[in-house]
Each structure stands twice: as C-alpha cells, then as structure tokens.
Homo-oligomer: A and B are copies of this chain.
Amino acid sequence: MSEPERRSRRGKERRKRESFPRSAAIKPLVNKLPFTEVLSEEGVEIIHRAAMRLLKETGMLIINYPPALETFRQNGAKVDGEMVWIDEETLMHFVRQAPPGFTQLARNPANHVFIGGRHIVFAPVYGPPFVGDLDRGRRQATLEDFHNFAKLTYLASNLHHAGGTLVEPNDIEVRERHLDMLLAHITLSDKAFMGSVTHADNARDTVTMSEIVFGAEAMQANPATISLINASSPLRFDDRMFGALEVYARARQGILVTPFIIAGAMSPSTLAATLAQQNAEALFGICYAQMLNPGVPCIYGSFLANIDMKSGAPCFGTPEDTLALYAGAQMARYYRLPFRSGGNFTASRIPDAQAGYESAGTIWPTVQAGTNFVLHAAGWLEGGLISGYEKFVLDLEMLGIVARFVEGISLSEEDFAWDAYQEVGPGNHFLGAQHTMRHYDTAFYQHVVFSMDNYEKWVEEGSQDAYKRANALWKRMLRDYEAPPLDEAIAEELNVFVEQRRAELRTGKPRTEWKR
C-alpha cells in the first residue's frame, strides 16, 4: 500500500474516533521523570522544624470531640481544654507508622489503584453545589447530575478513580445524600471510590456498603475506600471530620488528611508560614489516625490556594499555589507519605481562556511535583463551586497530554531513526518514510476535543470554540454510556441496606449495625 493510500485510510479510521478511548481497565500511570523541586534539602528541614514548633508551642484545637483529646492525652500529648500540644518525638513516632503507599480496591480488580511511589491517580472534581454547561449556565446540582458525572468518569480512561462527591445532589435530603452517592459509585462505575465524611454514621454506612461489595476481610488487607478529612485551618479539627476519621481508621480504610487553606485568610500571607502550618495540620491528622490503628493507610494532603487581596476571593493557578504545590510534594516525600494535591483548578466561571491558562497552570505542576492522588483532575470551575460538563471533557484532554508526558523520552536505536535519514536525506520530508509508518500510531498524542484545524476549515465548520466542541462531546459520551455488570446478589443487598438506612434516617432512629 502506498503512503497516500495508507494515510487516507487511517485518516478515515481516525475521524471516527470522536471521543476519548474507552478501555475495560485503567492503565496505571507511572511518572518516569525526575520530579521538579523548589526547596533545597535545607529548606525542607526548615519547614519541618517550623511545623514542629507550631505543634509544640502554638498547639492544635480539636473542637467538640473529647474522644480525640483523650486519645492524644493517652499517647503522650499535652492537653488542656480543647487544645493539644505535641512534641516532635511523639508525633513522628506515630507518623512513621503510616505506610509509604497502598493499593485501593476497585469493584473491577483491573481497576485497583496503587497510591504512592511514582504512581499518579487522577480523580474527578469533588464537592461543587452547582453544575454548569453551555446550554443552561450555572444551576443547582441534582442527583441526575451526579449520575452523569459518575458515568463520564467511568468512561474516561484517564480518570483512574471514581472520586467522591462529584456534585452535591441538592434534590436529595442532606441526611440521605451519602447513600445515593455511594449507590451511584458502586452501580454506575467499577472504579475505586471515596467515602462519606459528613457524619460518623455516614462513614459507618460507607464501610458497610463497601463490605457488602468487597467483603470485610479483603478490606483489612487493602482499603476499599479513601476519605477526605479536612482540617478547619488554622490549626483546628472538628468533631465531624475527626469523627469520620476515627470510623475509617478503625476500619483500616484509607484516610486523606488535607488542610484546606486559602492563604492570607486561613494562614498567614507568606508561603513559608503557610507551608509550615499545612505540614503541622496534615501530620497531626495522620498522627491521630496512627494512634487509633497503627499502619492504617494515610495520604498527606494539600489544598492550598490564596486570596485575592483586592476582593478576598480565592485565586487559582497562581505562582504562589504552584510553588506551594511543589513544596508540599517535597514535604510529603520527606515523611515517605503518599501526596495528594492539585487538579485542573480555575477561578473562572466558564471554560474560557482564563480557565485554560489556570487549569493547565495547575495540572502540569501537579504531575511534575510527583503528586500521587489528584482530586479535582476534571470538571472544576469557579473555585470548586461548579462541576462543569464542558470543563470536564476539556480537562480530560489535559490528562491525556500529561499522561503521555510522564513516560519521558525513549532513546533506543530505533528511536534515532537511522534508516529514515538514509531514506530521506537532507532537505526532504519524513512523511512517507518507512520509519514514520512504523511509528504512525504511537508517535504523537492524538487530540480529541482540542482542534488543530486551520482558520479556513474552522470557519467552514462553524467557528466553534473549545467550549462548544466540548458541549457536543460530553453529550455523545453520555449517549454511549453502558453500565458495567454488577452481581445481582450484591445489588440486592445494597438496596435492602440502603432502604433500611433511609427508613432509620427519616424516622430519626439510631443506626443499627448491618448483619450479613
């Protein structure tokens, strides 16, 4: 077959690929490149020492949760009222018991994810009360939206993890939302998912539903959930978060301790202090988990933005955020803990140029920093208030791009294309060379929603910007969605459990343990 024929045939095949490639199992993403660092070894030590000073001298506040105060007191910390002071030796004794990495189970064993080392796990946006799309603008999110984002996440081969609160399903009573969200994650997808942290009982429900799917024994060896425990910065945890943490720690489920810091408000406006504070808060939460159950898998988390000094609004994709991201990863590595941070962040309300600049300005450093778990990797708009449909698929393109990047540069003899230089010679083009044909399919990243069309073709096809192209794409993906199979007995048991819990919650009865 001649070269033009070959190109034309392939061109037709390619044009059919109008969506992101689907695969039955995720492909683990491993960063083969050196990590980017912004702190010297001495700088890391200085921040470590400052964090130890904060924990020992300034102290941490634990509000409305006496059991945690008691646990800290029993393990050697100084406790007075709701304040806790802990010294380096005591703290580090417990922190060191957290494993450097762990495998989280997924319903489809091919989708288990390793969190730690050089692995990168991408998970979708978490927490927005709103959704947004080109057709209807911003509006309150519903359970239908939650289902849609669960389906899109399942379909996205570059999302390794199903995430957690994809949107707040506002049409469901607050007390029952966690049940609907867990049910959706388990039935609409077969990827690993996150647990509920809104109440200790909701954490218990998460564990019970996971046990129905995975079995209690398997979950002792490897966690089937990870859950997001935020500090109420500065230097504070509350009963809600520590209550959920306790349930998960005792059940040996993964715990993602993340100080949620908007620097300038919830921390000082200088990066050094903010990093020391973040470090103190993350280690304090991990220390508590290890006191409760030594060896329970923990992730050192960072959610760190800064305020706009003009308006007080949070900013994303800033130079300060980027520096903090790199530095945070270095701190986590210093403690040999998996690191969570970053995503495709933006302050913008729609997927415009600003959203693109800011998102790429976050996801590139996220990957280059050596981040292991990346929440908010797709869909984030308006500082996390909106799950954006178009933004979601645009972010998927970025995830495809960075996934190729971390593979690095292959330097085999074949890669040097000696035969192509003999065949082509100086001054000619390589389009038809045998070497080019051999590498045709894998040579370059192939875009799905970004368009390389020239101006004339672009105008001819309706002058669509990326927002508009993405609008067509997520609709096509949802149309093509098919649910992964689920064992009928498991589905039945889940439904019975959920109905029992709904009844209890609606009537205000205490939670009964599920007997299998």
Contacts and interface: CB of A to CB of B under 8 A. Distances in A.
A331 B30 CA distance: 25
A33 B35 CA distance: 13
Given A357-B360, A402-B319, A352 B352 contact: yes
A412 interface: yes
A138 B455 contact: yes
Interface string A384-408: 0110000100100110011111001
Nearest to A435: B268
Interface stretch (A154-162, A166-174, A270-278, A487-495): A270-278
Contact of A265 (B265, B273, B355, B429): B429
A427 to B, nearest CB: 4
Contacts of A232: 427
Interface residues of A, number: 130
A191 to B, nearest CB: 24
Copies of this chain present: 2
B352 A465 contact: yes
Interface stretch (A182-190, A241-249, A286-294, A309-317): A309-317
Interface string A426-439: 11111101011001
Nearest to A46: B411
A353 interface: yes
Nearest to A386: B455
Interface of A: 10-11, 14-15, 33-34, 36-39, 43, 46-47, 50, 54, 58-61, 63, 83, 130, 138, 232, 234-236, 263-273, 275-276, 306-315, 317-320, 322-323, 327, 347-361, 364-365, 368, 382, 385-386, 391, 394, 397-398, 401-405, 408-412, 414-417, 420-422, 424-431, 433, 435-436, 439-441, 443-447, 449-455, 458, 465-467, 470
13 contacts: A11-B311, A46-B411, A235-B425, A268-B439, A270-B417, A272-B416, A306-B443, A306-B444, A307-B444, A322-B405, A327-B409, A347-B452, A348-B466
